[in-house]
């Protein structure tokens, strides 16, 4: 398989190289835990009954139920299957922002996606890619071949975050695209109106997909290390505004905390895993901490 490093910027490649054996072990344990979960079912397990119809295999008739009801019912089974994963990447202009970190939010998302893609494929689970801004721009069908990681990363390395975004519209489009229950891993800064985003996440969950939301912000967006009169620019509209950063800091930090808390609460109620991150956090450590916590819940 071609080297991951040849497709990535040097600083991103260095971060991926830090995904040590312990991280690999934990991620593999996490994926095994998904296999063993009731949602995915690693083995063929009994699911439910349905009425017998012509063409069904008589061997699947539940004769115990027939003896009790005098009607023919078929035992349905959950087919043994691998997890199918989709990496869903926000390509909007705001994802290209960094204040003083080596990596932009998009670079950071690539690191997380590369780790998860590599380890899903190592587990022989198919993994695909969906990239969106105002609409879905690129998609790579899920595969479990060893060459899939190179295919995914070669596309991501060629992309440049730009333009506006429509997160709820694209997630709704994604929900319509997915024909089977899947593991949907979303990487976004979620800079958009919150209510429509939450409705779109609910729609994915309603269709029985397992959803992990990696909410990636730049360190400066979380900690607001600015003071004095400072000019800020909306990365997607280009609109500029000057404010007294010192006086605004407390209000800003409170707003960010409330935003994250609302997302955390709403995602919990919807059954979505919410993972708040910022680019000052070593991605491998952040990923390990999340996967450990998820593994313990399974």
Q: For domain 4-38+82-297, give the CATH superfamily.
A: von Willebrand factor, type A domain (3.40.50.410)
Q: Say what the pLDDT of residue 67 is.
A: 81
CA–CA separation, 219 and 232 (whole Å)? 15
Mean pLDDT of the chain: 83
Q: Which pLDDT value is given to residue 118?
A: 81
pLDDT in tens, 19-58: 655 556 666 666 665 554 433 433 334 445 667 677 677 7
Assign 104 a pLDDT band (cuts: 50, 70, 90): very high
Report pLDDT for 40.
41
More confident residue, 74 or 27: 74
Domain ranges of the chain: 4-38+82-297, 45-78
Residue 291: predicted pLDDT: 78
Q: State residue 121 phi and psi, 5-degree precision.
A: -65, -40
pLDDT at 228: 87
Alpha-carbon Rg for the chain, nearest whole angstrom, is 22
- Confidence category of residue 1, pLDDT binned at 50, 70, 90: very low
- Which carries the bigger pLDDT value, residue 77 or residue 43? 77
Note the pLDDT of residue 178: 94
d(CA 84, CA 97): 31
Which of the residue ranges 27-31, 33-37, 87-91, 118-122 would you say has the lowest mean pLDDT?
A: 33-37
| Average pLDDT for 63-67 | 79
Contacts of 54 (CB under 8 A, 6+ apart): none
Mean per-residue pLDDT, 129-142: 96
CA separation for the pair 44, 65 (Å, rounded): 20
Q: Calculate what percentage of the chain has a pLDDT beyond 70.
A: 78
Q: Give me 80's structure tokens.
A: 């043994």
The average pLDDT across 5-23 equals: 64
| pTM assigned to the model | 0.79
In this model, does residue 199 exceed pLDDT 90?
Answer: yes
Residue 244 backbone phi and psi in degrees, to 5: -85, 95
pLDDT the model gives residue 262: 96
Phi, psi of 257 (to 5 degrees): -65, -45
Distance separating alpha carbons of residues 104 and 278, to the nearest angstrom: 10
Average pLDDT value for residue range 277-294: 85
What was the pLDDT predicted at 72?
Answer: 77
């Amino acid at each position: 398989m071609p080297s991951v490093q040849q497709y990535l910027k040097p600083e991103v490649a260095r971060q991926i190289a830090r995904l040590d054996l312990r991280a690999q072990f934990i991620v593999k344990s996490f994926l095994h835990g998904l296999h063993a979960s009731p949602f995915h079912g690693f083995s063929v397990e009994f699911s439910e009954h349905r009425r017998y119809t012509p063409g069904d295999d008589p061997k699947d008739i539940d004769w115990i139920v027939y003896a009790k009801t005098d009607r023919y019912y078929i035992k349905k089974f959950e087919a043994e299957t691998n997890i199918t994963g989709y990496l869903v990447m926000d390509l909007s202009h705001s994802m290209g922002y960094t204040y003083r970190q080596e990596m932009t939010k998009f670079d950071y998302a690539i690191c997380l996606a590369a780790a998860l893609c590599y380890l899903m494929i190592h587990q022989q689970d198919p993994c695909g890619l969906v990239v969106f801004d105002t609409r879905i721009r690129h998609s790579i069908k899920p595969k479990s071949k060893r060459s899939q990681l190179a295919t995914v990363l070669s596309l991501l390395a060629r992309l440049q975050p730009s333009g506006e975004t429509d997160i709820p519209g694209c997630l709704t489009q994604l929900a319509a695209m997915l024909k089977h229950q899947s593991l949907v891993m979303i990487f976004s800064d979620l800079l958009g109106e919150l209510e429509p985003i939450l409705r779109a996440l609910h729609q994915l969950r309603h269709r029985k997909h397992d959803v992990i939301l990696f909410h990636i912000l730049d360190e400066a967006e979380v900690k607001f290390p600015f003071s004095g009169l400072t000019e800020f620019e909306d990365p997607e509209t280009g609109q500029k505004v000057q404010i007294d950063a010192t006086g605004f800091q407390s209000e800003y930090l409170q707003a960010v905390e409330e935003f994250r808390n609302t997302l955390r609460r709403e995602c919990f109620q919807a059954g979505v895993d919410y993972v708040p991150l910022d680019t000052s956090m070593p991605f491998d450590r952040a990923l390990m901490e999340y996967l450990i916590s998820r593994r313990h819940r399974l």
